[in-house]
């Protein structure tokens, strides 16, 4: 009997680990076909994730607005190209995770090229 419980627990843990791995935002981004039109920092058909995060950074209602936009699609925020809604197989919880991740995106700071140059010049 203990072996059955141990086996059942092992299977349950394996399945929950797989489910959690699939819920990582980059995976959800690809599974939801978001990467067909969006990229982290390079403009494609739609705005970059960094542009989206920057636009909504100070908007306290951004999370709710973007969850609705991702679920239902829409047009007008970034031009005339409409964004399609997300498949019904993507859960509302997964959309929530994805939108949180998108809103966390920030541009990487640019390094100062002059500070990388050597300053070993001899004073005369």
Domain with residue 81: its CATH number is 1.10.760.10
DSSP 65: H
**For residue 99, what are the contacts with CB-CB under 8 A and spacing of at least 6?**
63, 66, 67, 70
pLDDT in tens, 24-46: 999 999 999 999 999 999 989 99
Kindly state whether residue 81 falls inside one of the protein's structural domains: yes
Q: Is the pTM of this model over 0.95?
A: no
* Domain extent for 75: 23-107
Kindly state whether residue 77 falls inside one of the protein's structural domains: yes
Kindly state whether residue 10 falls inside one of the protein's structural domains: no
Q: What is the pLDDT of residue 118?
A: 55
Number of domains in the chain: 1
Residue with tokens 């997300």: 86
């Amino acid at each position: 009997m203990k072996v059955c419980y141990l086996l059942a627990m092992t299977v349950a843990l394996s399945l929950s680990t797989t489910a959690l791995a699939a819920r990582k935002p980059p995976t959800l981004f690809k599974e939801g076909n978001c990467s067909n039109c969006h990229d982290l920092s390079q403009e494609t058909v739609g705005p970059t994730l960094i542009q989206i995060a920057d636009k909504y950074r100070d908007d306290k209602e951004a999370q709710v607005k973007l969850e609705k936009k991702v679920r239902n699609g829409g047009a007008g925020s970034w031009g005339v190209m409409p964004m399609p809604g997300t498949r019904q197989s993507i859960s509302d919880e997964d959309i929530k995770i994805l939108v949180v991740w998108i809103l966390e995106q920030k541009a990487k700071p640019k390094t100062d090229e002059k500070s990388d140059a050597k300053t070993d010049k001899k004073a005369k």
